[in-house]
Amino acid sequence: MFILISKERVAKQKKTWNRKVLFILGVLFALGIIALVATAIVQNKPLPKKMKYGIVLDAGSSHTSLYIYQWPAEKENDTGVVHQVQECKVDGNGISSYYQNPVNAGLSLQTCINRARDVVPVSQQKETPVYLGATAGMRLLRRTNPALADEIFSSVENTLRSSPFDFQGARIITGQEEGAYGWITINYLLGNFIQGSPWFNFLPNSKSTGTSGALDLGGASTQITFVSDENIESQDNSLRFRLYGKSYNVYTHSFLCYGKDQALRLQVANSMKLQVVQNVSLLNPCFNPGYTRNLSTPDFYSSPCVSDQRILSAPRTIQIEGTGSYQLCKKHVNAIFNVSHCNYSRCSFNGIFQPTLQGEFGAFSAFFFVMDFLKLTKEKVSLDRVKETVERHCSKPWSEVKSESGKIKEKYLSEYCFSGVYILTLLELGYGFNSSNWNEISFLGKVHGSDAGWTLGYMLNLTNMIPAELPLSPPLSHGGYIGLMVFFSVFLIFIILTCWLGFRKPRCLQKGII
């Protein structure tokens, strides 16, 4: 009886021990599985992209805009892949208009600087560069009154230095720089630099392997830039860039005083010379019939573009009356272009060298805004149809133009007739486009959320100077990761074998077998 009880106790103890061992092995197995899966997940999870930010302010002649750009820290062939994430238009006119109160030039930027603070992460604001580039408006002011230009820049710099960003400088960019940076922007947006890069999935697909020319029209200047196979006879018109591992030599020229606002002054100045201004009325065929505008002659002649054409006998105030004649307006606009002399093998106008037009062109800024108003940007149209559209608009009575055009500011609305005629004349008479190559021009506003303009090209070029950062790496080295995975796998196999040997003994290991 005693022997039987002892055997039952031993069997119970053995069964209890087996359960404990099974429990311990089960826990170890579960922990091994968790460790194996966790290591694989942590090591292989997608790494966050390290992003950098940059801010460029375009201080133009008629307004200032702030652009915020973003690009991956791991650059493509030493150049950042930059795209626009935010735009802020500064209230009021361009900074050059603050010559009577320079302090307000800097204060006008504050609202957009605050907007940038909301977009750029706080942790990155100190390392985010901010640049201000002033264009033709400040070029003209610097020419007439350098002291006032310096005061405006001092005000602007004070505002930007007091921001949380890394202020890198404010300066007047040259016309050649403005043209070249616009060319970089156009070709970047059209995908002509590095096609096939995974960073460029958001850009439009482009099969072109060449580059496109750039046509920029602002308020005080206009630029033409393109790559040419011909010899660039004037070295002042040649610039070299290296982007995405490739070098480019481009032709570029900027015509100061031939932006649409200053060109209008040139046209009006010519009209005043042609008409005997004895009363306060001046007929102008480049405005719609029925339109009137009062013109202050002291303010009008304050621009260096027309100051040498001052008529001393002109009254202080002149009323411009529109007559809306396309043909007569075209004749007046033609008069501001000098195509009579050229000291090179070929010129555009005013004696400036220009090689033969080559390839496709992207036209932006005022080129786009005017053509978009005339509904000529949605599809390719012939040069004759563009002329018909502009002529039809010029002949419309001013009252009809106002009633059809909604909330467009009167200044812009009243000048679309002149601007349309001027653009046609600039492209045809000035640059040499004609009916056979007119459709090589595409009028561009935004392309995939980025504005066509010089600021994006400026940022792209500047990123060549910003050191690339090493990409983020997984927490474990490749060797360490493989070692851990092998260790946990062997550990799990060991537990499985232990369980099998302990609870499913082979017959050769069982007691009593000979």
Cα–Cα distance, 45 to 42 (Å, whole number):
6
Is residue 273 within 8 A of residue 428, CB to CB? The reply is no
Q: Which residues contact 314 (CB under 8 A, 6 or more apart)?
A: 272, 277, 297
Rounded Cα gap, residues 115 and 381, in angstroms: 39
User: Do residues 483 and 491 make contact, with C-beta atoms less than 8 angstroms apart?
Assistant: no
74 is catalytic: no
The length of the chain in residues reads 514
Local structure of residue 399 (DSSP, 8 states)? H
CB 475: neighbour CB atoms within 10 A? 10
Separation between Cα atoms, residue 2 and residue 18, nearest integer Å: 24
Phi and psi for 402 in degrees, rounded to 5?
A: -65, -40
Residue type (1 letter), 462: L
CA–CA separation, 486 and 480 (whole Å): 10
Pairwise CA distance, residues 238 & 250, whole Å: 6
| Catalytic member of 76, 177, 178, 415 | 178
Taking the C-alpha atoms of residue 183 and residue 396, their distance in angstroms, rounded to an integer, is 36
The 3-state DSSP composition of the chain as helix, strand, coil percent (nearest 5) reads: 45, 20, 35
Contact 391, 326 (CB under 8 A): yes
Collect all residues with Cβ–Cβ distance below 8 Å to 206 and sequence separation of at least 6. Answer: 190, 191, 192, 195
Per-residue DSSP letter, 440: G
Residue 290: which of 260, 264, 320 has the closest Cα? 320
Longest dimension (CA), the chain: 144
- Please give the order of strands across the beta sheet that includes 317-322: 281-284, 317-322, 292-296
Tokens representing 285 are: 């065929």
Residue 347 per-residue DSSP state: B
Q: Where are the alpha helices (DSSP H) in 213-279?
A: 260-274
CB-based contacts of 214, cutoff 8 Å, min separation 6 = 179, 182, 183, 185, 186, 187, 223, 224, 225, 226, 361, 362, 364
Given the structure tokens 């922007």, which residue do they identify? Answer: 185
In the beta sheet, which residues pair with residue 347? 353
H-only helix segments in 218-308: 260-274, 297-300
Residues tagged active-site: 178
